[in-house]
Chain A
Amino acid sequence: MAQNLKVNGKDVTVEAEPGTPLLWVLREKLGLLGTKFGCGQGMCGACTVHIDGAAVRSCLMPVAAVSGEVTTIEGLSSDNSHPVQRAWIEADAPQCGYCQSGQIMACAAMLKARPQPTDADISAAMTNLCRCGTYGRIRKAVKLAIDLNSEEKA
């Protein structure tokens, strides 16, 4: 069944069953491999993408139910220039790196909604799991990203 989507600024049509989660359409049909499969139950956040700018766990989102524009990590920037990516590099946050696309997407969505988040906002937005335990560095990266993001806007 043909599904129409807008992904990273492009209109695309893919053949997929309507119940197929967006995650697998992105990865297998569109070759956007930066979005990761972690638990398949919306618990870990490795599959986080944006739909109309808001963070969504794509492993539970049926492709037919997607109504807004999808942004994946590949759509954030083509050269790591997004303030969140720059912050992640500065903090040297990743270890194995597998969860980091989702972490970055969660942070980017938060900054879009709240450019000056409180600590409580950060805790509420940054709930993705990391088995390597990079939470401390992610926290540091988030703080850096807030600064870089506001500098960019200034």
Chain B
Amino acid sequence: MKTDQETNNPVGLSRRFFVQSGAATVAGLVLGFHLPANPMRRAEAFAATGPTEGKAPQAAKLNTWLRIAPDGLITIYVAKSEMGQGIFTAMPMLIAEELEADWSRIQVEPAPSDAEFNYTGAPFEITGGSTSVRSTWEILQRIGATARHMLIAAAAKQWGVPAESCRAERGQIVHAASGRKAGFGELTAAAAALPADAIPKEPKLKAPSEYKLVGKPMKRLDTPAKVSGKPLFGIDVVVPEMRYAAVRHSPVFGGECSNFEALAKGMPAGTSLVKVTGGIVVVADSWFTAKTAAAGLDAKWTKGATTGLSSKDIEKKLRTAAGGKKLPVAASKGEPDKVLRTAKVKVEAEYSTPFLAHTPMEPLNCTAHVRPDGIELWVGTQSHTLTKMLVSMATKVPQEQVIVHTTYLGGGFGRRAENDVMLQAIEASKAVGKPVKLIWSREEDVQHDFYRPASLVKMRAGLGADGLPVAFTASIASPSIMQRWTMFGGLPKSGIDMTTIEGLADMKYECPNQHIAAAVVDTGVPVGFWRSVGSSHNAFYVESFIDELAHAAKQDPYKYRRALLEKSHPRFVKVLDTVARMAKWETPPAEGRHRGIAIAESFGSIVAEVAEVSVSADGQPTVHKVWVAVDCGRYVNPDTVIAQMESGVVYGLSAALRGQITLRNGRVEQSNFHDYTMLAPHEMPEVAVEIVESGEAPGGVGEPGTPPIAPAVTNALFAATGKRIRTLPISSHKLTGGKKS
């Protein structure tokens, strides 16, 4: 079995995807670091080097994240997945900064799926939780700095001068006193031949004031390829002798095909039918043939977990559970019940949000080749190493015999953290003895997702004489995401799924008496990580309810929030003040326009948003403008931060306005973009983003833009119409024409 690194590009994909072989890349400095598993993130790094033998960075199976070729071309291997969030630019920026590389000579490739490439020493590397940059920041800096030190040492040795008298500058080592210069490429052989003790254990990192790239807006490295039509995505993979496959799932969750044998016998020539968990797969010589054949089969299905279930039933289940006594407690302080009994002003409300599908633009797909010597996969996955682990567990093929080639992802949003499509493609390839590219139709994608869980929360608050809350309680009921993810620990003994309560139990508003409880409700509908996860609903709950409290207290929603954050959360206050200034909150909006505000912390970043809306005479809402203030701590590429805020707003806005997955008779009612709609271009609001400079530890940016948008819009709609929207989507409510401001 070839290793990942030895596998040549068989697919006519751009060569960027796969490590090149051949004379042109024989030599060069290959920098590998071995990071012991413990302690995970602050491991002692040491480098090993050596000329490569043509194939690839293979030096002692080290995690070789960086290669400098004799022609000066620098290849950076990234063990995280690029799904639009810009890490294939931001992560190389951190290395290039410390290396003093010439940015125009950088290329990026996805790292092989060998665990040695994992940054943290953990058994797998996942692209999720908005962690890519913040979790690897220091490691990437050290990789760059170590290489710089070695190139300087090599030059100094060659020139017979002290290393301290040399410096690195834009891809060259310079000895100022003598005017000597050498390009990185010219020094790679000498650097690779340095003795092991020349590799610094603690390379000196630059001071932030010396940064030339980090913190500056940089163009994305992947843009030229993405406007050229080059094959970059999993769906574009072509393998010799490849067959095409389409899947058809049981209409209800958990059902199985009950007449498979009969169907399989009747398949037309040139097609095959394969049974997979929860469905059937047709393999043919073209995808359209496979899909058409699958649709035409008179498949019968067994009952499943959701048979007979409708959204109304689920809502009832959630409501009963949220109203239950003695629920697992997520957070508690003071005596909220007692205080509530005597509070002068009490506010009570029930909120809920629906299941949501991810619908990345690139339909799910995987190309699998099952051979006697192992399994090879080409797939856009949010975790190639986790895919490898799970495939190994499911197939009993040892991990060393599983290769996963990661392509670019045509959107992920959490959906591509799942591995269902990979296992189906493997089954299909095994059955037909050929490589198979399995592609899901959009209908299968919408109807067989791992959805953002539906949830329902009951909240109560009591206000003091000053109008500020003295007691707050919340009971939330939701299906559990973590229950299924046993490798992340599953559902803990406490019965609290952290993804259900994030952004709720850790609410930052000052309130002396609080009680937050959470119930797990199993509905049979598969649930998973959806961009911003629990914060996607909890920000809507908390930020709508706090708005209700502000109005109950007859106070300005911005100033009310500010008063509740002022004492202990200066970063929040600064973000709030920034967005209020941007939106000119204190100045009334134009005639017919109305504003709402919301703030949420998620994934280490604080984001506040103001939405400006209008409502037409026939009740149609329009979001005209969104202002976003973000404190994400230290950041690498400000243009990416801005792009991700814009993206997060649109993703959240699509959901807030019209997004819902509903069940009828056990099956999902929506099926494609006509009834599971995303924001269309003409609906795009103007989005203004400002980064609040805090210099704090880096936070994520892929997800934090999403949580505040739904409440910012519904709070604005309240200002417009006087109607408080407590369930999403907004389209499920009849709005009356907007009042004049």
Which of these, A38, A96, A127, contacts B83 with CB under 8 Å? Answer: A96
B410 at the interface (CB under 8 A from A): yes
A46 at the interface (CB under 8 A from B): yes
Besides A37-B439, A131-B651, 5 more A-B contacts (Cβ < 8 Å) are A28-B287, A38-B363, A98-B360, A133-B649, A135-B679
Task: Find residues 346-376 in chain B having any chain A CB closer than 8 Å to their own CB.
Answer: 359-363
- B442 touching A31 by the CB < 8 A rule? no
| CB nearest neighbor in A for B647 | A133
Interface-forming stretch among B229-237, B455-463, B732-740? B229-237
Interface centre among A34, A38, A40, A132 (most CB of B within 10 A): A132
- A94 touching B220 by the CB < 8 A rule? yes
A110 at the interface (CB under 8 A from B): no
Please indicate the chain B residues that have their CB under 8 angstroms from the CB of A98 in the complex.
233, 360-362, 410-411
- B227 touching A88 by the CB < 8 A rule? yes
Number of residues from B at the complex interface, CB < 8 A: 61
Which of these, A17, A40, A99, A128, contacts B441 with CB under 8 Å? Answer: A40
- A97 touching B222 by the CB < 8 A rule? yes
A43 to B362, CA, bound (A): 14
Interface-forming stretch among B59-67, B186-194, B469-477, B681-689? B681-689
8 A–B contacts, CB within 8 A, in A order: A33-B231, A95-B85, A97-B408, A123-B681, A123-B682, A127-B681, A133-B646, A139-B681
- B230 touching A99 by the CB < 8 A rule? no
Residue numbers of B with Cβ under 8 A of A are 12, 83-86, 219-220, 222-233, 235-236, 238, 244, 286-289, 359-363, 408-413, 439, 441-443, 639, 643, 646-651, 672-674, 678-682, 684, 686-687
Please indicate the chain A residues that have their CB under 8 angstroms from the CB of B672 in the complex.
39-41, 43
A48 to B286, CA, bound (A): 20
| CB nearest neighbor in B for A126 | B681
A5 at the interface (CB under 8 A from B): no
Proximity string of chain A (11-23) to chain B, C-beta cutoff 8 Å, 1 when within and 0 when not: 0000011001100
- A96 touching B228 by the CB < 8 A rule? no
Which of these, B223, B439, B647, contacts A132 with CB under 8 Å? Answer: B647
Proximity string of chain A (73-108) to chain B, C-beta cutoff 8 Å, 1 when within and 0 when not: 110100010000100110011111111110010000
Please indicate the chain B residues that have their CB under 8 angstroms from the CB of A138 in the complex.
681
Report whether over half of chain A's contact residues are helix, strand or loop; otherwise say mixed: loop
| CB nearest neighbor in A for B286 | A28
Interface centre among A72, A98, A104, A133 (most CB of B within 10 A): A133
- Contact A92/B219 with A73-B229, A99-B361, A132-B411 known, Cβ cut-off 8 Å: yes
| CB nearest neighbor in B for A106 | B681
Please indicate the chain B residues that have their CB under 8 angstroms from the CB of A44 in the complex.
361, 673
Please indicate the chain A residues that have their CB under 8 angstroms from the CB of B359 in the complex.
131
A34 to B13, CA, bound (A): 11
- A135 touching B288 by the CB < 8 A rule? no
Which of these, B228, B360, B674, contacts A85 with CB under 8 Å? Answer: B228
- Contact A97/B226 with A134-B647, A136-B646 known, Cβ cut-off 8 Å: yes
- A89 touching B362 by the CB < 8 A rule? no
Please indicate the chain B residues that have their CB under 8 angstroms from the CB of A93 in the complex.
223, 227
Please indicate the chain B residues that have their CB under 8 angstroms from the CB of A101 in the complex.
227, 229
A37 to B244, CA, bound (A): 14
- B681 touching A38 by the CB < 8 A rule? no
A87 to chain B, nearest CB (A): 9
- A96 touching B639 by the CB < 8 A rule? no
- B231 touching A96 by the CB < 8 A rule? no
- A129 touching B678 by the CB < 8 A rule? yes
Interface centre among A16, A35, A92, A93 (most CB of B within 10 A): A92
- Contact A36/B287 with A43-B672, A133-B651 known, Cβ cut-off 8 Å: no
- A92 touching B363 by the CB < 8 A rule? no
A114 at the interface (CB under 8 A from B): no
- A38 touching B442 by the CB < 8 A rule? yes
A36 to B225, CA, bound (A): 15
Which of these, B229, B409, B442, B649, contacts A96 with CB under 8 Å? Answer: B409
B148 to chain A, nearest CB (A): 28
A75 to B226, CA, bound (A): 15
Which of these, A31, A40, A80, A134, contacts B228 with CB under 8 Å? Answer: A80
| CB nearest neighbor in A for B225 | A97
Proximity string of chain A (35-68) to chain B, C-beta cutoff 8 Å, 1 when within and 0 when not: 1111111011010000000000000000000000
Which of these, A37, A74, A89, contacts B363 with CB under 8 Å? Answer: A37
- B360 touching A131 by the CB < 8 A rule? yes
Please indicate the chain B residues that have their CB under 8 angstroms from the CB of A33 in the complex.
229, 231, 236, 238
- A34 touching B229 by the CB < 8 A rule? yes
- B442 touching A39 by the CB < 8 A rule? yes
A120 to B223, CA, bound (A): 28
| Complex A-B, nearest 8 residue pairs according to Cβ-Cβ distance, in ascending order | A34-B229, A133-B650, A98-B410, A97-B226, A96-B84, A73-B229, A95-B84, A135-B684
- B682 touching A41 by the CB < 8 A rule? no
| CB nearest neighbor in A for B85 | A95
A130 to B288, CA, bound (A): 24
- A92 touching B227 by the CB < 8 A rule? no
Which of these, A38, A80, A92, contacts B220 with CB under 8 Å? Answer: A92
A38 to B360, CA, bound (A): 9
| CB nearest neighbor in B for A77 | B228
- B411 touching A96 by the CB < 8 A rule? yes
- A97 touching B232 by the CB < 8 A rule? yes
| CB nearest neighbor in A for B230 | A34
Which of these, A40, A126, A131, contacts B678 with CB under 8 Å? Answer: A131
- B673 touching A97 by the CB < 8 A rule? no
A96 to B644, CA, bound (A): 11
- A96 touching B646 by the CB < 8 A rule? no
- B411 touching A73 by the CB < 8 A rule? no
Please indicate the chain B residues that have their CB under 8 angstroms from the CB of A32 in the complex.
229
A146 to B131, CA, bound (A): 38
A70 to B707, CA, bound (A): 43
- A92 touching B442 by the CB < 8 A rule? no
A101 to B230, CA, bound (A): 9
A137 at the interface (CB under 8 A from B): yes
A137 to B651, CA, bound (A): 15
A92 to B682, CA, bound (A): 20
Please indicate the chain B residues that have their CB under 8 angstroms from the CB of A35 in the complex.
229
A44 to B235, CA, bound (A): 17
A109 to chain B, nearest CB (A): 15
A78 to chain B, nearest CB (A): 9
A73 to B646, CA, bound (A): 26
Please indicate the chain B residues that have their CB under 8 angstroms from the CB of A136 in the complex.
646, 684, 686-687
A17 to chain B, nearest CB (A): 7
- A17 touching B289 by the CB < 8 A rule? yes
| CB nearest neighbor in B for A32 | B229
- B227 touching A24 by the CB < 8 A rule? no
| CB nearest neighbor in B for A101 | B229
A23 to B228, CA, bound (A): 17
A120 to B388, CA, bound (A): 49
Which of these, B410, B650, B673, B679, contacts A39 with CB under 8 Å? Answer: B673
- B286 touching A20 by the CB < 8 A rule? yes
Which of these, A76, A97, A135, contacts B681 with CB under 8 Å? Answer: A135
A134 to chain B, nearest CB (A): 7
B290 to chain A, nearest CB (A): 10
Please indicate the chain B residues that have their CB under 8 angstroms from the CB of A16 in the complex.
286
- A24 touching B643 by the CB < 8 A rule? no
Which of these, B227, B231, B647, contacts A100 with CB under 8 Å? Answer: B227
- B231 touching A34 by the CB < 8 A rule? yes
Which of these, B361, B648, B649, B686, contacts A130 with CB under 8 Å? Answer: B361
- B360 touching A89 by the CB < 8 A rule? no
| CB nearest neighbor in A for B358 | A131
- B360 touching A96 by the CB < 8 A rule? yes
Please indicate the chain A residues that have their CB under 8 angstroms from the CB of B650 in the complex.
132-133, 135
